[in-house]
Structure 1
């Protein structure tokens, strides 16, 4: 006899949400027009929900020398490496909106080296991929190309922290089979290519 976990491809939030979590969920639902499935899944674990989204917001919305589009770019490219359907699709949608490029997230998910990116963006993604795949090999020499393109130590920390945080997110979405909401697939695609 097999047992299917109650948290497998969750699409509805937990019942009896704490007021702060219910408020956050309602705010997200109002802003986006739907509730991303990751919010539903994490709502079953209130302490983790709070910690996850607090760190997410610090990395993705806080002050930084990285643009918000660059941050989303890191998520899409490294999540593709980690084979996370949820994060590639969901953050690909956010990247399309923030970068104002309707097709570039698809390029990032397949081969960022061939994507239509600046030297700075490619250097960021090369470093992020090293952190994602071989973090133990990072040396001070790996910082040099980033310094040459104007990144600071704080910016480089942020690249590494985003990569690491979303590796955690990728694995949560992977084992729990959290799938992207249908709404994500078309977001940011309603404009002609630049």
Structure 2
């Protein structure tokens, strides 16, 4: 018996409204499959549009953090939030973007002690401070990131990505969202 993708209804790619079908087709062509998150969010098209718009605004920027550093934030905070879907899906993307088959697993399992560059450590520490105990987030957290060389734009990027994936992690928990099988091997084996 196949495991359910979500506790809630899912929508197949060909059932999405035209604009969403076109946006998801680009992603599916690039990856070779339709990520389950789009099938799960597809039954609420307005929310899927908003999610995609904010995702693209913070994850596809061409300034500030690199794309690998953005994925590092997602994997670290999703690991801290125990979000299997986001750790598996974005761990695959991090492996590819960082060209490192082990980094995502190390960061997801213990982002507080994994060996990172000074810049990566500053990014991860800032993201975790905001993700894990936001009520105590303070100027000291910002100062530590700035002292490590992050610009205010990069600090904002870390915060915005952390906030978006707090939402994403909670939706994944609500829906019991199952990662696509394809994600588990991405970035581990040569692409065939």
**CA shift for structure 1 position 9:** 6.4
C-alpha distance 156-92 of structure 1, shift in aligned 2 (>3 A): same
**Corresponding residue for residue 31 of structure 2:** 32
Is 1:95 aligned with 2:94?
yes
Give the conservation status (yes or no) of the 8 Å contact 1:14–1:44.
Answer: no
C-alpha distance 178-9 of structure 1, shift in aligned 2 (>3 A): farther
Give the conservation status (yes or no) of the 8 Å contact 1:104–1:116.
Answer: no
Give the structure-2-normalised TM-score.
Answer: 0.90
**Corresponding residue for residue 63 of structure 1:** 62
Q: State the distance in 2 between where 1:14 and 1:190 align.
A: 27
**CA shift for structure 1 position 117:** 1.2
**Corresponding residue for residue 167 of structure 1:** 166
**Corresponding residue for residue 3 of structure 1:** none
Give the conservation status (yes or no) of the 8 Å contact 2:74–2:161.
Answer: yes
Which segments of structure 1 move beyond 4 Å, counting only runs of 4 or more? 9-12
C-alpha distance 29-62 of structure 1, shift in aligned 2 (>3 A): same
SS at match of 2:79: helix
Q: State the distance in 2 between where 1:177 and 1:142 align.
A: 32
* Residues 76-155 of structure 1 aligned to structure 2 (within 5 Å): 76-155=75-154
Q: State the distance in 1 between where 2:33 and 2:143 align.
A: 42
Is there any run of 5+ residues in structure 2 with no aligned partner, and where? none
Give the conservation status (yes or no) of the 8 Å contact 1:86–1:180.
Answer: yes
C-alpha distance 156-87 of structure 1, shift in aligned 2 (>3 A): same
Give the conservation status (yes or no) of the 8 Å contact 1:9–1:179.
Answer: no
**CA shift for structure 1 position 52:** 0.2
* 1:93-138: CA deviation from partner (whole Å, max 9, x where unpaired): 0000000000110000111233231011111111111101111212
Which deviates further from its counterpart, 15-24 or 152-161? Answer: 15-24
Aligned residues: 186
CA RMSD of aligned residues (A): 1.8
Give the conservation status (yes or no) of the 8 Å contact 1:112–1:125.
Answer: yes
Is there any run of 5+ residues in structure 1 with no aligned partner, and where? 1-5
SS at match of 1:113: coil
Give the conservation status (yes or no) of the 8 Å contact 2:13–2:34.
Answer: no
Q: State the distance in 2 between where 1:73 and 1:53 align.
A: 19
